[in-house]
Every structure is written in structure tokens, then in C-alpha cells.
Amino acid sequence: MGKECLVVSRDILIDEGLIPDEVAGKYVYQRIQGLGELKKLLKIAKDHGEYRERNGEHGVEKDPGFQQFIMYGFVERDGRFLLYQRAGGANYTETRLAGKVSVGIGGHMERTDLALSDSFYREIEEEAQITLNGNPVNFRRGDGSLDVGLMRQHIQIKPLGLIKDERDEVGKVHLGIVCAITPQTAGVEVHVKTGNGDENAKSMYVTPEEYQAMVMAEEVTPEGWTDIVFREEIKPN
């Protein structure tokens, strides 16, 4: 069996009011209003979530009847936000996103995750390099398990909203949980892992104005969710 991930039936998400019944060709961004809505989301994932194979003939990547929960966290500091370019060619298997730029750190929830909230921290630890005063921080215990408590001392993850994007094939089968990732300790910085063996080609911190200029000049092509997060959470008023 191939790699599995947490999914919830699209019909259940519609019935619970988390996604609209009809968003064909459009996107919807719904802000999470308070702790109550967050608890509702986590309860739906716990009560109705199931693990299904992602790829293959019957994989959920081809079945919009199930929505894959994705943590999508962005980092801001000193008026800039973290932007990275996804790799291409043999280094990157998701051809639908290859070469595009992204603000989102995160990914799928897997069976090994104890809770949806813990999966956020696992995804960050896998995709990002967190440093303290320039030195990499190791969040793995001696037995190889992830010390989520230690991660929470250094960074905060705050869920802000939900993305349902029906403008492309990727968005049709995913539900994005948008989060702000904020350093909690002086001297902590968050970077995306890049280089040989990683899925990302390069990363940088840019201002909103610099990003807009890069897009207008067609120097970069943002993925759909990055376009949404920039419009809804990052773009200056």
C-alpha cells in the first residue's frame, strides 16, 4: 500500500459548513473565528476523518469526494515574509506545483500523528530549518521522536483560516488550514530546507511590494494557495 493521509468526506464538510456546496472555478477563504471554530474543525477531523491512499488508481489525489487536510503555515518577520520556490525535474514529484513559488510550510496528516495539531509541528520540522542565534535546533529526542513541547517553546502556530480552491486540480482535492508561524524566542529564525535531496530550490524573505513586483514582471509564478494567502493575510491594506 502507498502513502496514506487523513481525509474527510466532502459531503460532511459541506454539511458542517466548512466548505460551500458550490465553488467551481473559484476559491473561498473563511477565517477561523475564535477557539470554538478551531475545536469544531479538530472534532470533525477526529470523528469523521479516515486514512486513505493518496496516489494510485483509487487514490484520493484523483477523488474530489474526499478532501485531504493540509496545514499551510506562513512566516512573517520585520515586515517581510518567507517565500520559497519549489523544485522541478526529478527532485520534485508533484508536477502540478513544480517550479512555482510558495509561502506555505506544511503538508498532510499521517497515521503516525497523534493529533491534527501535532501534525503541524511535524510538517514544520520536516520542511523547515529552525535556528537559534544562527545554530540549528534539534527537536528530535534520543529515540527519534519529535519533542512537540520544545517546538512550542520556540515557535507558535496560530490557525487563521480555511482555503477551498477549485481553480486547479490540486485545490479540488485539498482543504487548506492556513496558519501564522511566529517565533517565540529571541534569536529564533525559520528557513525552508533547500538544496540537493530537498523538495525546494531556494528561499528568501521579501516585502509585499517586492513580491508583487516579481509577480508582475513574471519573474515568479505563485501557486494557487500562495496567491490566496497573500491576498487575504499578507498584502498591506
Q: What is the pLDDT, as a whole number, of residue 95?
A: 56
Residues of the chain short of pLDDT 50, as ranges, are none
Residue type, 122: R
Residue 43 parent element (H or E): helix 34-48
For the domain 4-234, what is the CATH code? 3.90.79.10
Q: What is the pLDDT, as a whole number, of residue 163?
A: 92
Q: What is the pLDDT, as a whole number, of residue 25?
A: 83
Pairwise CA distance, residues 62 & 85, whole Å:
25
Q: Give 17's DSSP letter.
A: T
Grid cell listed for 226: 500562495
> 174-183 and 66-77: which strand pairing?
parallel
> Are residues 81 and 182 in contact, defined by beta-carbon separation less than 8 angstroms?
no
Q: What is the pLDDT, as a whole number, of residue 208?
A: 95
Q: What is the pLDDT, as a whole number, of residue 100?
A: 87
Cα end-to-end span (Å), the chain: 48
Pairwise CA distance, residues 108 & 112, whole Å:
11
Q: Choose among 222, 234, 171: nearest CA to 19.
A: 171
Torsion of Cα atoms, 137 then 143 then 149 then 150, to 10°: -20
> Cell 534569536, residue?
187
pTM equals 0.86
Pairwise CA distance, residues 183 & 190, whole Å:
8
Decide: residue 122, CB within 10 A, 0-12 exposed, 13-18 middle, 19+ buried: buried
Pairwise CA distance, residues 67 & 60, whole Å:
8
Q: Please give the radius of gyration of the chain, using alpha carbons only, rounded to the nearest integer.
A: 17
Q: What is the pLDDT, as a whole number, of residue 117?
A: 67
